[in-house]
Each structure stands twice: as C-alpha cells, then as structure tokens.
Amino acid sequence: MVLLHLVDAFSDRPFSGNPAAVCLLDAPRSDEWMQQLANELGYSETAYVARVDSGLSLRWFTPTIEVPLCGHATLASAHVLWSVGRAQGTVRFETKSGTLTCERKAKVIQIDLPRSELSDVPPPVGLFTALGGAKPVTLKRAHNDQLLVELADEDSV
C-alpha cells in the first residue's frame, strides 16, 4: 500500500508555502518507480518514507533526478507521520545525507541538518528573479554545490 500526501511546507494554509509530495511506502520501491511517480506528480520534490531495519528511510526525487537532501520535504514528511499517527516524538530519517532528526517545537518543526563547509559565492544569474525580488542577507555555496540563501524575515520567504 502507498499513501500519498500533498503538503504545503512553511505555511499554515492550503495552496501557499512550498509544496512537497510525501509518499508513505509499505516497503521500499525501485528507483525507477519513485522517479516515475515524482515525474507524474510534477512537484519540485517528492519524498518517499519507508520503514527499514534501522528505522525510517527517506529519499527525495524531483521530476527528473534523485537529490541528496531536501529540507522542506523532510519537514513535510515528519508532519505527515505525526498527523497520521505513524510517529510520536522525535522522528529520525536515514538518508543519503546521513541521519536527519525532526522535533515538534510548539507550532514549528525543528530539523537537524548535516553540517557542511560553506564558501562565499556571487548570486547566480536569475536568483533575484526566482526569489521574487527578495535580496539575500547571506548567500553561500556548500561543498555539494547547493546554495544556502538567508532572507531577512519570514515574509521574504
């Protein structure tokens, strides 16, 4: 059995925030199957959660590739597990980026992400447009070529 949930991360109302699909699997599925479903859904990320011997496995696929880490889909996955009664308290996910831990803190979810060395980087072409004109307070590149973009406040996010 597969349970599919559509979650708007970083928001308390539907059709806002950062959408992610969360797929709760009864058993691990093939990479091809997960890629095909992610492509069909068309979300920026689809998260796949499965029980494994070590606990919970979590993987993320865009419509075209598997990615090594996705924060908003991890938060969405923890939210879904708590909402459907499949987890209580701290949630630990085994991922290709290491163990990720999520905890509920009042009305927010706190996530413990892996540490990465950061370096200064100039803004890529199109970044300001992609951010709706918001100017980053901080812009860094991680060793895995991902960008860390810090914005001034919640409204900018």
- pLDDT value, residue 54: 81
DSSP code at position 96:
T
Q: Which amino acid is at 14?
A: P
pLDDT digits (tens, 9 = 90+) for 47-58: 999 998 888 999
The answer to whether 25 and 2 are in contact (CB under 8 A) is yes
Catalytic positions? 45
Residue 142 burial class via C-beta count within 10 angstroms: exposed 0-12, middle 13-18, buried 19 and up: middle
CA distances from 153 to 122, 136, 157 (A): 21, 10, 7
Q: How far apart are CA 46 and CA 67, in angstroms?
A: 10
Is pLDDT at 42 greater than 90 in this prediction? yes
Quickly count: other Cβ atoms within 10 Å of residue 118's Cβ.
Answer: 15
Q: Place 81 in a pLDDT band, splitting at 50, 70 and 90.
A: very high
- pLDDT value, residue 150: 87
- Written as six digits, the tokens of 8 are 């708007």
Residue 65 backbone phi and psi in degrees, to 5? -145, 165
Is pLDDT at 138 greater than 90 in this prediction? no
Is pLDDT at 62 greater than 90 in this prediction? yes
- Rounded to an integer, the average pLDDT of 116-143 is 85
- pLDDT value, residue 66: 97
Is pLDDT at 117 greater than 90 in this prediction? no
